[in-house]
Amino acid sequence: MFCLELSQDNVKRYKLQLNRFLVTDSNRKHRHGIYRFYAPIYDRFMAPSFAEGHSKMYASLNLKKNDHILEVGVGTGISLKHVPEFVKVDAIDYSEPMLVKARKRQENGDFAAKINFQQMDAHVLEFETNTFDHCVVAHTLAVVAEPEVVLREIVRVTKASGLIAIVNHYKDSKGIIGTIWNPFRKRLGLGKHVDFKELIEKCDLELLSEERVNNFTTHTRMLVCKNP
């Protein structure tokens, strides 16, 4: 009699595949469609408040020559001016209007590093396992449909002992105001409350440091993790 035994790794893999199936395109359409509206004004209104976090997240990686970096949710590319010329970056985003602006920046010579922009769904990263030395993700995990699915994909494509730097609005608890405001934030494409420490633990990452960044916003933090 044939018997199929599932290892713990296989069970996790099948659960991930199921999550990918359940997170349908229609579930993602609203979250990302609103960025067609934000794309023309994003740099003027968002860039100043995000600059410190973007700078520190790349500095936290202690980059070496020829390191290969993944940035998930690159948007209009405002973070990439902080990338040194001796590394290469694959930069993905689900919003093509955002990427149009990012590519325009590249054409204008705004970036020192070699950047490869791709339109891609972060829930299903189109990269081989263990592709990247490090990964950064800023202001993205709170706006995707399934943060755990996305972070597990990031873990999969990042090499063992690689660093994953997460920058996002984050509080340890929502509180009453957060509970009331959360549905409106999601509708506006500003994300939802995510317990990042719990998320990091679920994905078996080691939290190395936590730091408040972006003085303009009181609850933006950078969490630097190590891939097992």
Counting the structural domains of the chain, the total is 1
* Cα 202–Cα 208–Cα 209 angle in degrees, nearest 5: 110
53 belongs to a structural domain: yes
1 belongs to a structural domain: no
- Look up residue 223 and give its two tokens: 């969490």
For all residues of the chain together, what is the average pLDDT? 80
2 belongs to a structural domain: no
Tell me the residue range of the domain where 161 lies.
8-226
139 belongs to a structural domain: yes
35 belongs to a structural domain: yes
pLDDT, residue 23, reads: 44
Entry pTM? 0.76
Q: Mean pLDDT for each 10-residue chunk of the chain (228 residues)?
A: 48 49 45 52 62 91 97 95 97 94 96 97 97 96 94 98 92 49 46 85 97 73 96
Nearest to 147, CA basis, from 180, 127, 122, 171: 122
Domain with residue 116: its CATH number is 3.40.50.150
Q: Where are the alpha helices (DSSP H) in the chain?
A: 8-22, 25-33, 35-38, 42-59, 96-107, 147-157, 175-187, 196-202
